Structure formats: structure tokens, C-alpha cells
Amino acid sequence: MSDRDAEFVAFIGQAACLLIEEVSADAVVICVTRQRRGQTETYVRPFGNIHACRGIVEYAYDRMVCQEEDEPEEIEGTEDNDDE
């Protein structure tokens, strides 16, 4: 593992620790994608009880993919600016 990859993994762990300590999270799942050498890498790391982590992932999937509303929820930072 390169130094940069080790720093990336350490940063993910620090982010999870902050969430657990500062907001008393019982479980945290961090999913990250990044481009490296023309390929997309996906990184998923659960922290905490594996059953709670699976529940988080299922909940997120249902909210983002299986949502039965007419319009999907907007994800922060992805709003369309049709006014411009």
C-alpha cells in the first residue's frame, strides 16, 4: 500500500471515529469513490455492529434507489440551476 493510500485509509478511520465520538453514532458506513489511473475505485468501510451497518446500507439504498415518490429527493450539491 502506498503512503497516499495509507493516508486515505487513515482519514476514513478518523472521520468515522469523529462521528462515533462527537454524535454518539452507533454505527457508521463510509462509501467513497475516486478516480485512479483511469479507473473508478469504490471504497466501503463499516464501523460498528455489522447488523447495524447492514441496516444503514439497506436504508440508504431504499431512500436513494427504491424510493416510490414521483420526484427523487435532491442530494445536497446536485441541484439543477435552471434559472441561469
> How high is the pLDDT of residue 84?
45
> In this structure, is residue 44 part of a structural domain?
yes
Please provide the average confidence, as pLDDT, over all residues in the chain. Answer: 83
SS3 2: coil
> In this structure, is residue 23 part of a structural domain?
yes
Range of the domain at 44: 3-64
* Pairwise CA distance, residues 56 & 79, whole Å: 24
Residue 33 predicted with pLDDT over 80: yes
Domain count, the chain: 1
Under a CB-based contact definition with an 8 Å cutoff, are residues 47 and 9 in contact? no
* Pairwise CA distance, residues 28 & 47, whole Å: 5
Q: pLDDT class for 45, splitting at 50, 70, 90?
A: very high
> In this structure, is residue 84 part of a structural domain?
no
0.85 exceeded by pTM: no
For the segment 16-34, the average pLDDT, to the nearest whole number, is 90
